[in-house]
Structure 1
């Protein structure tokens, strides 16, 4: 097994806020990576990566929440997601592991989005794309998916080592999200700012050069919307707690 990690000097700038109208490498990479991932998923490459196949646990936090990619421990204020629909990123279904319940919506439309989410999946990263590049692309995609419908603008930071000590070596990428604060057309019913993190841990390498990567995506409301926001430390706590299932 090989880590699949390579270095690159062509990295996006630190997540200092969105820059509308200015294309970046992550945005150019997105459709290419998404198409390649979709092909590999259909071909069954991800299914062959191994790992436990159980769905999200139903016990309340702090019991571990388990998927085929990771088991994580929900931080205080988070609940284990039981039966929640998958978070779709580039057509890859990420199993929801834990969530922060929606804020009290008041006059906002029913069915408010959760204030935070943690989800995981096994992803086949095609040959020619590094794990770091894939993590950055999925950080952008996760921000756009979680804040869909509120005109999200995502700024992706550079890759670095996973938070904490111990555990499987991996890549950690953070992104920031700016939205228009609307939910189902109602102004003020969604966070105006969000934070996203992606943990990418290489697990296997196929003969064609593609790398099987366990990915954890975490996102949380950083500002705006009624109710309490999600501490940024909760996202790194989730990444620190992530372990191979089983």
Structure 2
């Protein structure tokens, strides 16, 4: 899997579900306008003054008539962390310098990975077989947290499997797995053409996605700050072992506020 930037237009059609209980193609098409509308206005919560407080300016001007250099600029406020997770067996901390997982322009910080597989003649630098990442996003008034979670489930599948013609089928929202804490959980399935960097047979043909969305704050304009955990993992096909689907729900059940 790789991190890739996606846009809110020209989405590929949802895949025809290949297992019982998956959403039908017709239901995916009916959901699509609502998901696109939700994604179009979702932004990083740290950039929204109403949710995260006003950021300090990047520079501080010297008072009029004063001599000497301008006063040092205050350090930018750090982005608040969304979640801390407990990696399931076989998962590790992300590699040093790993780029954020970009989903609809929102950078999700990587929290855990299932290590990549060695694949013979396939291109070097294989993507991890699984990735868990988190961010704070602002869901605007008029868009539900459930719609946002479904939108990001589609975007996560497209981003994590970018370059392999991913077809994503999004399921309905449900309760958070595990402890009964509040939150919305959405799962999706991904079908790919099995290519990595143009080489066939070098990527899983089936992927699984899970998105956990937990409201944190509400702004005066009605928008809601949501902590969001996205997980994507190879479910079958291609080289290497599949990642157990239970890893997705285990990660969601373990997600807590950091600190």
- With normalisation by structure 1, the TM-score equals 0.81
Matched residue, 1:16: 22
Whichever structure has more strand as a proportion of its residues is: 1
Matched residue, 1:128: 142
Cα distance in 1 between the residues matched to 2:153 and 2:124: 28
Q: Deviations over 1:124-150 (max 9, x none)?
A: 001000001100110000000000000
Label 1:189 to 1:158 Cα distance change in 2 as closer, same or farther (>3 A).
same
Cα distance in 2 between the residues matched to 1:25 and 1:41: 32
Matched residue, 1:32: 37
Matched residue, 2:151: 137
Cα distance in 1 between the residues matched to 2:247 and 2:162: 22
Instruction: Figure out how many residues of one structure are paired with residues of the other and give that number.
Output: 218
Cα distance in 2 between the residues matched to 1:240 and 1:29: 27
Specify which of 100, 122, 129 is matched with residue 115 of structure 1.
Answer: 129
Kindly indicate whether residue 208 of structure 2 is the aligned counterpart of residue 195 of structure 1: yes
Kindly indicate whether residue 79 of structure 2 is the aligned counterpart of residue 73 of structure 1: no
Kindly indicate whether residue 253 of structure 2 is the aligned counterpart of residue 240 of structure 1: yes
Structure 1 residue runs of 5 or longer lacking an equivalent are: 1-12, 55-66
Shift of 1:27: 2.6
Q: Deviations over 1:200-220 (max 9, x none)?
A: 000001111100000000010
Matched residue, 1:231: 244
Kindly indicate whether residue 228 of structure 2 is the aligned counterpart of residue 212 of structure 1: no
Q: 8 Å contact 1:150–1:179 — kept in the other structure? A: yes
Shift of 1:233: 0.3
Shift of 1:95: 0.2
Please state whether the residue corresponding to 2:85 is helix, strand or coil.
strand
Cα distance in 2 between the residues matched to 1:151 and 1:53: 36
Specify which of 164, 179, 189 is matched with residue 150 of structure 1.
Answer: 164
Q: CA RMSD in A?
A: 2.5
Looking at CA atoms only, which structure, 1 or 2, has the larger radius of gyration?
A: 2
Shift of 1:40: 6.7
Show structure 1 runs of 4+ deviating over 6 A.
Answer: none
Shift of 1:170: 0.2
Shift of 1:44: 4.4
Q: 8 Å contact 1:46–1:122 — kept in the other structure? A: no
Matched residue, 1:62: none
